[in-house]
Amino acid sequence: MAALAVTESVEFAAIREMLGVADSVLSKHLKVLQDAGYVALDKPTGRGGRVRTWVRPTEEGRRAYDAHVAALLLLVAAGTIPDTTPTATRN
């Protein structure tokens, strides 16, 4: 999402190369993001019928990403990391 958030869209193969992961791994993660409404997948048919999948961040995805980074920055600024272990949560 860090790379996607500042782009209009990024092609599937470009993301795969940037992250250095296999097609199946990337597909799985994109499916999760798509189901959450954070990205949309476009498959315009190119010349010769070749389909290139472009991944586009949604407004909701951008907002969620910005909020996530803001939270990370707050945690770093505060110098504390919340303890979210089950024991800590119960107490």
Partner 1 sequence: MESDPIEGLAQVAAARSALADRLVTPRWYLPAFGAALGASALGLGVGLPQGLPLCFAALVVAIALPFIQTHRSGVSYTGSVRGRQDRWIGALLVAVLLLDGAALLIGLSAVPALVALVPATLLLLATIALGRGYERELRAALGAGR
Residues binding partner 1 (CB under 8 A): 2-3, 6-11, 13-14, 17-19, 52, 54, 68-69, 71-73, 75-76, 81, 84
Residue closest to 1 by CA, chosen among 38, 43, 52: 38
Q: Which is nearer to partner 1, 24 or 80 (CB)?
A: 80
Nearest-angstrom CA–CA distance, 52 and 89: 45
Query: At closest approach, how far in Å is the CB of 17 from partner 1?
Result: 8
Query: At closest approach, how far in Å is the CB of 24 from partner 1?
Result: 19
- Is 54 exposed, middle or buried (CB count within 10 Å of its CB: 0-12, 13-18, 19+)? middle
